[in-house]
Chain A
């Protein structure tokens, strides 16, 4: 998947997550701010990495502000942001 521009998706309301995707020329970086970071930070990171791999995305900065979203929501928001960035 080729990303052409930065994009954002989701919200910061309860059970949702806001994810920003910034294509950049550097090694990928994932910043996670989460209400449940202690409990689920690692799992969120794994999920994001696996979606990036699935979509063959590299050299990207991902900013995540999570409000306790379940995996299906994180996945949907990241896919939306990638879809928008690829437009």
Chain B
């Protein structure tokens, strides 16, 4: 038996109450950006993270990098959830030596060209949204400082993305960062003394709060309402896709789905709506990037829950704010492959797009037909792997570029997870899915082989000159589990 509990020992250890001076309580966490950057002492080899919920209207990443650059900081890793045209000029920070490594989901336009030309010595690490969450949670990537732009925060960092002057809606991608980063800085142009309720960022995760004059360029963050396409080709693809979803008997009570925001994916939702009303069916949840059109289904009672990792328009933002079952989820819950409960695993069907798809159904959403980085991995391979049925929609050719081809330039999503390809020139089913093939044949849905589509495309556009690659590897594409699925070569 142990000795009796020594109360004196406890008193000595904890100290006794001596009174409190209320006025000396720490006031709040608000500091200037410059103060924070100096105080955090961001130096060589450190990793800082951002999110891309403000998309093309993001101002924060540049504000931070500009200050660091002025200080002469070198050799840091930037770890944004994605990069947009707002970050087009980041080549200058690579040239100045500030940025020596980039991990991201997307990279495009001028920065994509810069990277593809070999500007950065270390290859960019491309991860899916689920893969990024996995890398952070597993400790594979350590974030020293997470800078989180929010639309509204209180003085202690309780924050959300759906109030304020430049709302972005869900903060899903940054929720993983805030839990695992060493230091978390919340930045906004609306900071109130009053507590932010509801909040997506809890203040206990936040070290500093920074007020800036403007956190985002409103018109570049998102549009008011995503417009439904009137493009006949996109409508054709969408209708065929909806017909297939119906034929595959997916539209049953409590089914679940995710549709992208591309012209045809969005229209798929519209055609599905008609079928749901006709069959009197209610879906359990819609997942993913949420748009006003999905919100409408929710508000009409056709979809019970919206699981929202990212809002795509202001209608979605308003809904996130007002509809209780429109729920903000983080990237790990969304798609981390090491999290067996991640929701992509509960998807009955996902409709995705592609820059390129080949005979093996391998999909490229990262590099253009010229081999240059101009896309985003996003949740593509995550949802393809998780869903029961993954449908890729795409026109057979875009302009003079074949979308369906012999071999994709880069693989992001392996063909073994892609089940159906719907194009304007015909629908192909992955031979691995004999069940789907049989069901569609039974329902008299016309099917062609992927080889036929490849040949049709080549007949239309003719064989292009091969891309001239250099020896340097400029990008490493990670599959969601962390293995390397492809390398992106320098383009000369």
Contacts and interface: CB of A to CB of B under 8 A. Distances in A.
A–B interface present (Cβ within 8 A): yes
Interface in B368-384: 369-370
Interface stretch (B10-18, B102-110, B435-443, B460-468): B460-468
Contacts, number: 39
B206 to A, nearest CB: 46
Interface string A17-50: 0000000000000000001101111110000000
A71 B399 CA distance: 12
Interface residues of B, number: 12
Interface in B303-342: none
Contact of B399 (A15, A42, A43): A15
Interface in A39-84: 39-43, 67-71
Given A39-B464, A40-B465, A41-B465, A68 B370 contact: no
B400 interface: yes
Given A14-B399, A39-B401, A71 B462 contact: yes
Contacts of A70: 400, 460-461
Interface string B232-260: 00000000000000000000000000000
Contact of B370 (A14, A38, A67): A38
B399 A68 contact: yes
17 contacts: A14-B399, A15-B399, A15-B400, A35-B399, A36-B369, A36-B401, A36-B464, A39-B370, A39-B401, A41-B465, A43-B465, A67-B399, A68-B398, A68-B399, A69-B399, A69-B400, A71-B462
Given A14-B399, A69-B399, 16 more contacts: A15-B399, A35-B399, A36-B369, A36-B400, A38-B465, A39-B369, A39-B464, A39-B465, A40-B400, A40-B462, A40-B464, A43-B462, A67-B399, A68-B400, A68-B401, A70-B461
Interface of B: 369-370, 398-401, 460-462, 464-465, 467
Interface of A: 14-15, 35-36, 38-43, 67-71
